[in-house]
Amino acid sequence: MFIKGICAHQFAHIVQFFSGFYERLTKGQQTKKLLVLYADFLSGYYIGLRKMHYTSAELLSLGRSWESIGDSSYTDPQHHGTPEKRLLAVEQGYRFARQRQEFGIKAACEVVARYL
């Protein structure tokens, strides 16, 4: 599941670039944090849409993995967000997909932009 999550995260960066959200999320920002949290949310969204049953242990394992790739370098331009914020973004994306399956990717992109 972690590999699926990473692939979905990277695909979300492609979506950002070609949809205009890249400019929207970087305007006035000193770090890449919003770009990364956006991709984390969409990664969780993708996992939630797969309609597969995940055990609590699998989701907990994914969460721990995601937390391990966060950082606390708040002033570094490459800052990706704290472990807690990254995990929260994935969880919010997952919940959104599970609760609002009628929404498509365009709606999810707008929801995450507002969320951030």
* Domain ranges within the chain, ordered by starting residue: 2-115
Could you give the CA distance from residue 107 to residue 111 in angstroms, rounded to a whole number?
6
- Name which residue leads in pLDDT, 71 or 18: 18
The reported pTM is 0.80
C-alpha closest to that of 19 among 112, 115, 100: 112
- Averaged pLDDT, 19-28: 88
The number of residues making up the chain comes to 116
Could you give the CA distance from residue 78 to residue 58 in angstroms, rounded to a whole number?
29
Each residue of 38-84: pLDDT tens digit?
998 998 898 888 866 666 666 667 667 766 665 566 556 666 777 77
Angle at 83 between CA 68 and CA 2, to 5 degrees: 50
